Amino acid sequence: MAPPRTSSIRSGSGSGSPGSSSPYRDGGFLASVARFWRKSYASDYIGFTLLFTGYVLIQAFVEPFHRLFSLSDLRIAYPHAAIERVPLSHAFVYALFIPLAIMLAHNLLTRSPAHKHHVSVLGLLIAMILTSFLTDIIKNTVGRPRPDLLARCVPAPNTPRDSLVSIAACTETRHHTLHDGWRSFPSGHSSFAFAGLGYLSLFLAGQTRIFAHGYGSGLGERRMEKLVRGDLLRALLCLVPLVGATLIAISRCQDYRHDVYDVSVGGLLGWTVSYWSYRRYWPRLGSSRCHEPHAGPPAGGSGSDDDDDDLDARYGRVRDEEERGSLGQNVGFELRDLGRA
């Protein structure tokens, strides 16, 4: 007598239950797309492309909100500087190309793998485009007048001085010069500088390990935290990019393009985005592995669904002491144990 046939308990293997077949598991185009999405940086590049496209569209078609202003307001009566201390082209050099060159040179000198080159550049580019995108959205929505608005506007001679007027009172014919007068908050130069140079500062801090914490080794022994002290020279080296970003921000006040409030918020925005982008690819600066990026997407695998799911479960996990590997313990738990010892 033949033994009864048993059905598989794996989801999707039965032939009679509804929803037993999935286009993502049965092969075909959708399955290939899903595997490619999970095992590559496709989402990062698609996101970057969307942000870049949105930024270009904003630059080309969006005009700022035009707040009412008064000719007697001295806060917007500063002269218009035709020659800027840090023009936009120089800002790209200082905040984008120099950090890019330093990171690539460091990785080449240390013979870093291709994955480290990749995430170093990708993290910087995402920080820059996201900062620019957010800055322009805020600029055009807020519509705060620049300190040199009256010089840009060139009000008509019969404009009343002690009442609020609109852009209709302006006689300036150059479109960009006039409308850019309502894009004061936040400072784009400041946010751009702190995004690029801030990312470089974080990269250098990770590579020099000035905040790194290590752990003693020994199987079956209590691991104790030890501080790896970074010397002052390396710490100052990591501060140099932030000093440069600060000087760029100050130059915007010297040119009467922004006030302190504009550049402070712009710098904070750029620094926040740079840290967010950095931590997507790198461990925290206190990690003993802060000089190594997180593992890339699981490009390998045997092709089976179980292996793919296992790789997907491991991909994206934090690779430092925040999880402590397979032990499932964290630093705070061990420090409490040391206090009771």
Q: How far apart are CA 261 and CA 221, in angstroms?
A: 53
Q: Say if residue 186 is preceded by a cis peptide, omega within 30 of 0.
A: yes
- Measured in residues, the chain has a length of 341
Pick the catalytic residue from 80, 179, 213, 258: 258
**CB environment 225-258: b (16+ within 10 A), e (fewer):** eeeeebeeeeeebbeebbebbbebbebbbebbbb
Q: Number of H helices and number of E strands within the chain? A: 12, 2
Pick the catalytic residue from 189, 213, 291, 294: 189
Active-site residue 258, yes or no? yes
Taking a C-beta distance cutoff of 8 angstroms, is the pair 76, 146 a contact?
yes
Residue 194: both structure tokens together: 């702190």
Q: Tell me which amino acid residue 305 is.
A: D
Q: How far apart are CA 149 and CA 142, in angstroms?
A: 15
Residue 232: both structure tokens together: 């002052």
Active-site residue 106, yes or no? no
DSSP one-letter string for 163-198: S-B-GGGB----HHHHHGGG--SS-HHHHHHHHHHH
Q: How far apart are CA 200 and CA 104, in angstroms?
A: 11
Show which residues are catalytic: 189, 258
